[in-house]
Amino acid sequence: MSSERPVLVDADAMLGRHPRRAVGDGGVTAALLRMDRFGISEALVGHTMSWLHDPATGNRRLLELLAGQPRLSPCWVMLPDTCGEIGTPAAFVDAALASGVRAVRAYPADHGYDLGGADAAPVLDAVTEAGLPLLLDAAQISWPAVEAIATARPRLTIVVGEVGYRTLRQVAGVLARTDNVHLGLANLSSHCGLEWLAGRFGARRLVFGTGAPARDPAEAVTRLLWADLDDGTVAAIGAGNLRNLLCKESRAA
């Protein structure tokens, strides 16, 4: 790539303390300082409270923290509506769009539900209709389940992060048979895997993300900037692909 540094937009970052990992205070100031250090212009962020405690409370807390922070966009955590924790699917999506939420994230393994089952279908349908991308970590779901959800909802954008380096054969099969599954860079640690994926499936299927602060952003930044890829491909993965995928509809004032 050229000496001119590309724009980077992080699809996989989080605020909030973590009970088992040394992530600091998890505040906005620390997040912005970390982004400046690694040359990251913007970030899509969630909150640990939405993941490890209560999605409804964490989603509200995230909005409070992001008020007046144009570099940080909110990513809410979704749940099936079986227990009424986030309201009806329509109410959840309406509130998300009204709050400027750009994507949603699911933790089906940690939150104890089947993302591909009947319980989650209504909220997945609502998220799809709203044009909100769905973010997942690979450890939260099986690749056959990812494929089944993507095939049943071809208009739903799915971004899977934390892929690791031992699953590329499964990943490749899913990418080949779907058009709406994308991979995040956090922990995409196969040797030359980024170059191979871009060459085989196209750069548009790859999205820059760091997994910060639980993961060191230097990992994903170095993987992209030192990759044997041309400038246009690096620019697309670094920011362009995510910007094209994020929900553009917003009802926020």
Q: Does 67 map to a domain?
A: yes
Residue pLDDT, tens place only, 151-197: 999 999 999 999 988 889 999 999 999 999 999 999 998 889 999 99
Q: Does 252 map to a domain?
A: no
202: region left, alpha or beta (phi > 0 left; psi from -120 to 50 alpha): left
Q: Does 250 map to a domain?
A: no
Q: Closest by alpha carbon to 14, among 211, 235, 223, 157?
A: 211
- Find the CATH number of the domain harbouring 112: 3.20.20.140
pTM (2 d.p.): 0.94
Count how many domains the chain has.
1
- Alpha carbons 74 and 55: distance in angstroms, whole number: 13
What's the mean pLDDT in 97-123?
97
Give me the residue label for tokens 């980024």. Answer: 194
Q: Closest by alpha carbon to 185, among 138, 145, 231?
A: 138
Asked whether residue 141 carries a pLDDT value surpassing 60, the answer given is yes
Q: What is the reported pLDDT for 249?
A: 62
Q: Does 188 map to a domain?
A: yes
Beta bridge partners of 135: 105, 159
Please indicate whether residue 217 or residue 1 has the higher confidence score (pLDDT). Answer: 217
Q: Tokens at residue 177, please?
A: 């048979």
Q: Does 253 map to a domain?
A: no
Q: Does 3 map to a domain?
A: no
β-pair type (103-105, 181-184): unpaired
Burial of 249 (0-12, 13-18, 19+ CB in 10 A): exposed
What's the mean pLDDT in 67-76?
97
- Alpha carbons 145 and 2: distance in angstroms, whole number: 39
Mean pLDDT of the chain: 94
Radius of gyration of the chain (CA): 17
Q: Does 2 map to a domain?
A: no
Q: Does 82 map to a domain?
A: yes
Domain extent at residue 155: 9-245
Confidence of residue 251 (pLDDT cuts 50, 70, 90): low
